[in-house]
Amino acid sequence: MSKNKTTIVAEPGKQEAFIIREFEAPRELVYKAFTDPKLLPRWLGPCDMKTKIDVLEPGDGGRWRFIHTSKDGHEFGFHGVCHEATAPERLIRTFEFEGLPERGHVVLETAIFEALPGDRTKVTIQSVFRSVQDRDGMIMSGMEKGVVESHEKLDELFEKELQLK
């Protein structure tokens, strides 16, 4: 269990949510973990699911699609486009869950990677939703569990990767 905790801030009545987390790894490595198709499936998603990277073009104008598969074989797809990838400082992309009955519930995500003393990194992700109802629905869907578990797996990945150096 990491000494760092994931914080999710979703103020009532607002269309945005913030995910804030510090990692015991240098900014370049944290950014790489968010953009490398070999590293992402090793940490992204809840612990009880496998993640497959269908497409990952993290550069400006690129696109992405990830699939989470549960133990019973159910697949959950997510996709979006990348508006900006400024290594190792910022990622701006859209996010859309494919399991909704209608399309168009697109989220705009901006991830800021801030270098901290001691080769540590603070990641702040601002997600802007189409509506307060969309934001609240995402929060109530179990998003927090998946984000927290993903960050814990990312901590483990950093421990392994940093030990290799």
The mean per-residue pLDDT over the stretch 74-79 comes to: 96
Tens-place pLDDT, residues 45-58: 999 999 999 999 98
Q: 165 pLDDT band (50/70/90 cuts)?
A: low
In this prediction, residue 17 carries a pLDDT of 98
Mean pLDDT, the chain, whole residue set: 94
| Strand partners for 53 | 66
Tokens linked to 69: 């598969």
Cα(78)–Cα(80) distance, integer angstroms: 7
Domains and CATH numbers, the chain: 7-164 (3.30.530.20)
- In the chain, where does DSSP find H-type helix? 27-35, 40-43, 132-138, 144-164
Q: Which of 6, 3, 2, 1 is nearest to 122 (CA)?
A: 6
Q: What pLDDT does residue 101 have?
A: 84
The span from the CA of 124 to the CA of 126, in Å, is 7
- pLDDT given for residue 162 in this prediction: 72
What are the φ/ψ torsions at residue 125 (nearest 5 degrees)?
A: -110, 120
DSSP 120: E
Rounded to 10 deg, the angle between the 27-35 and 144-164 helix axes is 120
The CB density around residue 14, as the number of other CB atoms within 10 Å, is 12
